[in-house]
């Protein structure tokens, strides 16, 4: 080995040894409520403030990592709320990890699974914070610890969810003019199907035939409504339909998927790898939405992607209106996937009045750019955290 190689290798080995021996000293959780630029409506709720739990992991070497758990209007989209996430982190998950080696990621996941069932958002936030701390310690981006990036940029989708077609047309045109987004997801389910269809017709007429439109029903239709109204979505050249029926009705979703020429995006119907395999075997759709809140960790989300791909699903990078902190964690994993056919919808940082970091994630030419700094590659804005933190 040459002298130059030895000189490089020795510091690297020292850093790696130091990181391996570094233990988890503390884990703290803070509830944050950040205002959004406009109302964001879903079939069962709407939000004007986005709730997060920020998790800080402090290692014995003095390095702090940050992670984020996101919810939508409380325990409505899934069973977790910011209150339950904070309680799970503080009372069950943190005690299971304190004193453990920082880089033992798979062991951490096993310990957390024994400490609490499901609680996926809480677990995902902790693992993200650990990857952030480990990456900072080693001087590596989190994507390197997840297998290495194969892409740096991803096409990014914007959601239209105010319910006002005129406002939404102008919003979408401004995104196109600024070359920020050229694919739009339309939130359905908070109006009667006929009203939603009129809104979609106005959007198609206002934006033209070249713009790709995705419809997210958020479990808001029955199978009968799908049979009645999906032909109209086909006529409007909708590219993708997300979770049209209840997540509990897998058989109905499979029948709907068999009747329409539009691919169905499986979201709430499949959280775990076992859920994904069942949905794939039943033919519930042909695209799967990846979300940290469903997988409970970045490593597990990569395994979910592999199971989905093995069952013939194309992959879609889903979001839950994360800030740049949560988006950075997702992008670290998405950057390493061999396939990501539908890009991602991580527009969350841009729907906030003020992001939670000093260096917001960069959007450029219709794409979102994965941060390349150590760890998650973002720096928390402590003033914003203090301003938006819930006063308990």
Pairing of strands 287-290, 314-317: parallel
Going across the sheet that includes 64-70, the strands are: 24-41, 46-59, 64-70
What count of other Cβ atoms lies within 10 Å of the Cβ of residue 346?
A: 27
Q: Please work out, in degrees rounded to the nearest 5, the angle formed at the alpha carbon of residue 378 by the alpha carbons of 352 and 126.
A: 90
The position carrying tokens 């809104």 is 199
Residue in 175, 185, 187, 384 annotated catalytic:
187
Concatenated DSSP letters of 184-200: EEEE-SSS-HHHHHHHH
What count of other Cβ atoms lies within 10 Å of the Cβ of residue 104?
A: 16
Strands (E), 240-298: 240-242, 264-266, 287-290
Distances (CA, A) of 363 to 328, 330, 357, 360, 373: 12, 15, 15, 9, 16
What count of other Cβ atoms lies within 10 Å of the Cβ of residue 236?
A: 17
Measured CA to CA, the distance from residue 304 to residue 124 in angstroms comes to 14
Give catalytic status of residue 187 as yes or no.
yes
Residues 196/189, Cβ–Cβ less than 8 Å: yes
Exposure string for 304-330, b = 16+ CB within 10 A, e = fewer: bbebbbebebbbbbbbbbbbbbbbbbb
- Tell me the two tokens of residue 259: 């009747």
End-to-end C-alpha distance for the chain, whole angstroms: 58
The position carrying tokens 């990890």 is 97
What count of other Cβ atoms lies within 10 Å of the Cβ of residue 13?
A: 10
Measured CA to CA, the distance from residue 392 to residue 348 in angstroms comes to 25
Half-sphere exposure of 334 (CA within 13 A, CB side): 32
Catalytic residues: 187, 345
């Amino acid at each position: 080995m040459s002298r130059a190689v030895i000189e490089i290798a020795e510091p690297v080995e020292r850093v790696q040894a130091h990181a391996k021996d570094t233990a988890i000293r503390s884990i703290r959780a803070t509830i944050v409520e950040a205002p959004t630029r406009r109302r964001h409506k879903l079939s069962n709720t709407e939000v004007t403030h986005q709730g997060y739990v920020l998790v800080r992991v402090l290692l014995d070497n003095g390095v702090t990592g940050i992670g984020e758990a996101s919810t939508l209007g409380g325990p409505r989209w899934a069973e977790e709320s910011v209150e339950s996430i904070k309680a799970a982190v503080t009372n069950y998950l943190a005690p299971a990890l304190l004193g453990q080696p920082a880089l033992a990621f798979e062991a951490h996941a096993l310990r957390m699974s024994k400490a609490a069932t499901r609680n996926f958002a809480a677990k995902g936030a902790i693992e993200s914070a650990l990857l952030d701390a480990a990456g900072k310690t080693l001087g590596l981006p989190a994507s390197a610890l997840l297998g290495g990036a194969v892409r740096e940029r991803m096409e990014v989708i914007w959601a239209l969810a105010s319910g006002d077609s005129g406002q939404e047309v102008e919003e979408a045109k401004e995104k196109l003019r600024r070359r920020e987004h050229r694919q739009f997801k339309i939130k359905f389910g908070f109006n009667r199907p006929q009203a939603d269809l009129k809104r979609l017709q106005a959007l198609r007429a206002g934006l033209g035939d070249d713009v790709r439109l995705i419809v997210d029903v958020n479990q808001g239709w029955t199978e009968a409504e799908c049979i009645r109204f999906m032909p109209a979505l086909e006529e409007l050249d909708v590219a993708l339909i997300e979770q049209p029926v209840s997540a509990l009705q897998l058989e109905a979703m499979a029948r709907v998927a068999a009747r329409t020429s539009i691919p169905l995006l499986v979201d709430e119907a499949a959280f775990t790898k076992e859920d994904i395999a069942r949905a794939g075997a039943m033919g519930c759709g042909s695209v799967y939405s990846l979300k940290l809140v469903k997988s409970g960790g970045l490593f597990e989300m990569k395994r979910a992607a592999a199971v989905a791909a093995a069952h013939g699903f194309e992959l879609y990078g889903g979001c839950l209106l994360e800030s740049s902190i949560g988006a950075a964690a997702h992008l670290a994993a998405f950057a390493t996937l061999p396939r990501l056919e539908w890009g991602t919808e991580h527009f969350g940082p841009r729907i906030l009045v003020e992001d939670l970091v000093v260096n917001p994630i960069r959007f450029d030419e219709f794409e979102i750019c994965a941060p390349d700094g150590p760890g998650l590659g973002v720096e928390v804005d402590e003033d914003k955290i203090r301003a938006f933190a819930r006063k308990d």
